[in-house]
Structure 1
């Protein structure tokens, strides 16, 4: 006998495509962000379906500090959009800046971080290459998402938000899919998305993303 999720998931996906449901962070009303459909919402999580996109990414940055690694990666990407690329082309700022996190095995060991910048629609067909940066091409991707505010600091806050997202998914039809997605990509346990510039002190929006592939939801 088929699992109930075989029937529930297609209904959720069809509803998302028909209604085009979106709820974007306020920052995305000012600058370009990747588009997505909201597939489902639960207590403490949202499931999104992201369209195919391209992201310009740093190589892996090993550091004990999330803040330092993200700053290092952001500065490389900021130089890139200011024209430090093969075309000498200036590129519009977008949101969010994301940091993929592969946590260390211990508190005094370096974790691995990859910082990425969403390529604007204008540049998606042909993003300028740059030394030391790699282009990530995403197909359609699902993300389990938890939103939180304030400035991100080192310590347990980011890990606690990621743990809270994972915990909130338990008992949902998405839990198995997210777990499989994490197993499939050992280089990134979760992704931290930051939407605001460092000079914005109020109304800050951050998110934890746990990505999973198109076929990961199949039971």
Structure 2
């Protein structure tokens, strides 16, 4: 019996060690990857109103449902920053990877916005490191990838953890929209979904956000 408990103890300690390693890896990654330096205007729990500076993004457009589109968009963007298909040096990875549906009315119900559809088109973006001006970035080898400036903007954001399923995103988006309505703030354009972690990060350690630009 003593031997059984000893083996059980090693298993438990091994599990704790793996969990600690996962937390350490998550902390290192999230603290060593550049993120946009926004200013918080208002904070209410998991919801913030932020002022973002001008940004430069590399983007692709993909069709289909949300999950398939972000996966399809990731590969050409990764090929661009890691210089897989172009000349020049690689570009540092940043966070988050963002995704926004094209041409969608803000008055449509949240459940309709997140229904998968073959006609949906999604803009998937990598944010370029702040050290680069637009003219300093190497040109993409593929016409699929576009480099674009994004002007400064005030955005509302809600932060949440977990695996970013359509249901979870819809719930958080609804919370954010209700919060904006109570405060008389007007959303503008399509919501943006932001993913800060790789797919191997455990759900409870993931950082996800729904963001929406605010009208002046």
Alignment TM class, shorter chain as reference: 0.7 to 0.9
Report the CA distance between 1:37 and its aligned residue: 0.2
| Aligned: 1:193 with 2:194 | yes
The answer to whether the 8 A contact 1:85-1:128 is kept is no
- Cα distance 1:137–1:162, how it changes in 2: closer, same or farther (>3 A)? same
Report the CA distance between 1:78 and its aligned residue: 1.0
Q: Runs of 5+ in structure 2 lacking a partner?
A: 1-26, 105-111
| Aligned: 1:39 with 2:41 | yes
Per-residue Cα deviation, 1:93-149 (whole angstroms, up to 9, x for no partner): 110000112467794633221110010123334122212111121121111100110
Report the CA distance between 1:86 and its aligned residue: 4.2
- Cα distance 1:76–1:159, how it changes in 2: closer, same or farther (>3 A)? same
The aligned runs of 1:2-41 (5 Å cut-off) are 28-41=30-43
Q: Runs of 5+ in structure 1 lacking a partner?
A: 1-25, 183-188
Equivalent pairs counted in the alignment come to: 177
| Aligned: 1:129 with 2:139 | yes
Name 2:91's counterpart in structure 1. Answer: 91
Per-residue Cα deviation, 1:158-177 (whole angstroms, up to 9, x for no partner): 2222122111111214x22x
SS in 1 for 2:178: helix
Name 1:109's counterpart in structure 2. Answer: 117
Match of 2:213 among 187, 190, 211: 211
| Aligned: 1:149 with 2:161 | yes
Flag the structure with higher helix content.
2
- Cα distance 1:211–1:89, how it changes in 2: closer, same or farther (>3 A)? same
Per-residue Cα deviation, 1:33-79 (whole angstroms, up to 9, x for no partner): 11100011236521000011101000x21102x11111111111111
Tell which structure's C-alpha radius of gyration is larger: 2
In the superposition, the TM-score normalised over structure 1's length comes to 0.72
Name 1:170's counterpart in structure 2. Answer: 181
In the superposition, the TM-score normalised over structure 2's length comes to 0.73
The answer to whether the 8 A contact 2:80-2:86 is kept is no
The answer to whether the 8 A contact 1:56-1:136 is kept is yes
- Please give the alpha-carbon distance, in whole angstroms, between the structure 2 residues aligned to 1:67 and 1:45: 24
- Please give the alpha-carbon distance, in whole angstroms, between the structure 2 residues aligned to 1:96 and 1:80: 16
Report the CA distance between 1:84 and its aligned residue: 3.2
